[in-house]
Amino acid sequence: MTIIKICGIKTLKDALAAIDAGADYLGFNFYPKGVRSIEKETCAEITSVLKREHPDIKLVGVFVNSFVDDMKNILETCSLDLAQLHGDETPEIFEQLAPRVFKAFRGIPSEVTGYERNGAPAMLVDSAVKGMYGGSGVTADWSAASELAKHYPLLLAGGLTPENVADAVRQVKPWGVDVASGVESAAGEKDAAKMSAFVKAVKRLETGN
């Protein structure tokens, strides 16, 4: 089964719509310069409802070059399950958050030493777009990602949409897929119909229907 993560959630309405669509993981972006950025207090209000009503859904905090203490505080305050490091974090920072952490690579990493995780996802691979930390809408290098996916439970991101996600899963065979801009009606605003179509495209591939 391909895990589905819908990232850049900003409202409870969008979180519940993503869960209704069939998402397994939800991502909350704490990068202040990002269009999908959320405040800690707002996230805590949303996740308190989700933890009570949908305890099986995994909740992920997305960080870009944040201080370790700040990340730990947000993880605790917002009852998040995992931290996703999407910036230029060192293995030392990674180690301080282990085991509740995985590294996102912009582009295909030539070396993953220091960022190994004995769990799933082991890492995330996104497209490499200068000046952007995810959410660019540009597809990643699927052929290179497919090689990585043979060795690690890989979360594939970068330009995925309801129209191309089945092709991505077929080619890369990732542990999971991660979508943000591909299921939005406007930057930071999730589209319930697109989220549903995205999940259905993955499920249809798996069931052959």
Positions marked catalytic: 7, 126
In the chain the first and final C-alpha atoms are separated, in Å, by 15
CB atoms within 10 A of CB 177: 26
Closest CA to 81 of 105, 61, 109: 61
CB atoms within 10 A of CB 105: 20
Peptide bond into 32 cis (omega under 30): no
